[in-house]
């Protein structure tokens, strides 16, 4: 059995731990570390975790683990990655790898080849995106010539009680200098790279309407791809009339057909039309399970990770360019 240590006991770790439970008996989280003893002990009780520590250093020095799942704030990712590599422990780190591309690039170069190292980028593991990838590989719509992705919500508009739904869900986002792109759209940029290949940034504009947050809440981005491909990514978390719940909209226009994702509905138009509906809540949980399964398979079978640290650096480089040019 693979013995796993979890760094962090915040909101997102419930999804990590539920996914790890599905790995039994191949793997088990046996230790957790978080500066908040209350949160760490609560997670330990909920998920039958034997060892509780105050931080990553204590966990690595006092409990023997084979792998570390880093789901702590981005500001300490680089430090924990270095600690894990020094102890010879395999690493899976939640995105983003670090607060900036330069810090991420430095730490990846430092630990290169020392231990298995994967980024927990789960968005591309959602069932509907895996299906789209299969259709594209099969040539169902031919070469993609245009793509448009939108993410519009009212999450940063106060409700009748003066609460902001997006902040209620993830309070830490209000204090981020780099908010929408680094915390949310990094997923979508990675998905676009996964589906369409490498991209270059050609236009970026960021803005902010919600005064309850430090960072940006809207973005207008344009990317270029191979053979003249143009990709538009539009996102705004302060849109009146939209739901506070995040749902992706994606349109891929090919030479021989079109793929459209609208919330829970996925459609393919052209010579081989098909329509599929997805349970988005179940798909969200499945994305964590699939990402962690991919990590465990990579360790067990000595296989390369799809979301390797070097691959994720290319996504993070685009994110850095967005902030530096907008």
**Secondary structure string (H, E, C) spanning 126-195:** CHHHHHHHHHHHCCCCCCEEEEEEEEECCCCCCCCCCCCHHHHHCHHHHHCCCCHHHHHHHHHHHHHHHH
Residue 296 contacts residue 304 (beta carbons within 8 Å): no
pLDDT of residue 326: 82
Average pLDDT, the chain: 97
With CA atoms as reference, report the closest residue to 63 among 89, 96, 36: 89
pLDDT of residue 133: 98
Query: 124-279+316-325: which CATH topology?
Result: Dihydrodipicolinate Reductase; domain 2 (3.30.360)
The CATH number of 2-115 is 3.40.50.720
pLDDT in tens, 266-285: 999 999 999 999 999 999 99
pLDDT in tens, 38-97: 999 999 999 999 999 999 999 999 999 999 999 999 999 999 999 999 999 999 999 999
Q: What is the pTM of this model?
A: 0.95
pLDDT-based confidence at 1, cuts 50/70/90? Answer: very high
Q: Domain spans of the chain?
A: 2-115, 124-279+316-325
pLDDT in tens, 235-247: 999 999 999 999 9
Q: Is the pLDDT confidence value at 261 over 90?
A: yes
Residue 32 contacts residue 52 (beta carbons within 8 Å): yes
The Cα 180–Cα 20 span in angstroms is 28
- Residue 77's contacts (CB-CB under 8 Å, 6 or more residues apart) are 70, 93, 94, 96, 97, 98, 107
Neighbours of 276 (CB within 10 A): 13
- DSSP-based three-state secondary structure for 291: helix
Q: Which two tokens stand for residue 228?
A: 């003249």
pLDDT in tens, 195-209: 999 999 999 999 999
Residue 96: cis peptide before it, omega within 30 degrees of 0:
yes
């Amino acid at each position: 059995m693979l013995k796993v240590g979890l760094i962090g006991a915040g909101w997102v770790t419930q999804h990590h731990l539920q996914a790890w439970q599905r790995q039994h008996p191949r793997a088990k989280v046996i230790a957790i570390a978080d500066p908040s003893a209350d949160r760490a002990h609560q997670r330990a009780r909920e998920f039958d975790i034997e060892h509780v520590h105050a931080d990553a250093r204590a966990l690595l020095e006092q409990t023997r683990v084979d792998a570390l799942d880093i789901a702590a704030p981005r500001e300490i990712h680089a430090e924990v990655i270095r600690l894990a590599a020094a102890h010879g422990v395999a690493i899976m780190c939640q995105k983003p790898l670090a607060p900036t591309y330069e810090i991420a690039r430095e730490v990846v170069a430092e630990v290169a080849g020392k231990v298995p190292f994967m980024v927990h980028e789960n968005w591309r593991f959602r069932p509907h995106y895996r299906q789209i990838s299969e259709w594209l590989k099969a040539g169902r719509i031919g070469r993609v010539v245009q793509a448009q992705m939108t993410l519009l919500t009212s999450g940063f508009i106060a409700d009748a009680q003066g609460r902001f739904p997006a902040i209620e869900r993830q309070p830490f986002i209000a204090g981020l200098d780099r908010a929408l792109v680094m915390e949310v759209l990094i997923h979508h940029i990675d998905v676009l790279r996964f589906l369409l290949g490498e991209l270059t940034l050609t236009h970026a504009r960021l803005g902010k309407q919600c005064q309850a947050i430090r960072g940006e809440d809207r973005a207008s981005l344009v990317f270029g791809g191979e053979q003249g491909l143009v990709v538009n990514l539009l996102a705004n978390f302060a849109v009146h009339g939209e739901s506070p719940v995040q749902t992706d909209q994606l349109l891929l226009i090919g030479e021989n057909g079109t793929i459209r994702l609208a919330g829970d509905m996925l459609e393919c138009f052209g010579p081989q039309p098909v329509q599929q509906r997805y349970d988005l809540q179940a798909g969200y949980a499945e994305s964590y399970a699939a990402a962690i399964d991919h990590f465990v398979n990579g360790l067990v079978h000595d296989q390369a990770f799809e979301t390797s640290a070097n691959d994720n650096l290319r996504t993070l480089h685009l994110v850095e360019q967005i902030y530096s040019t907008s």
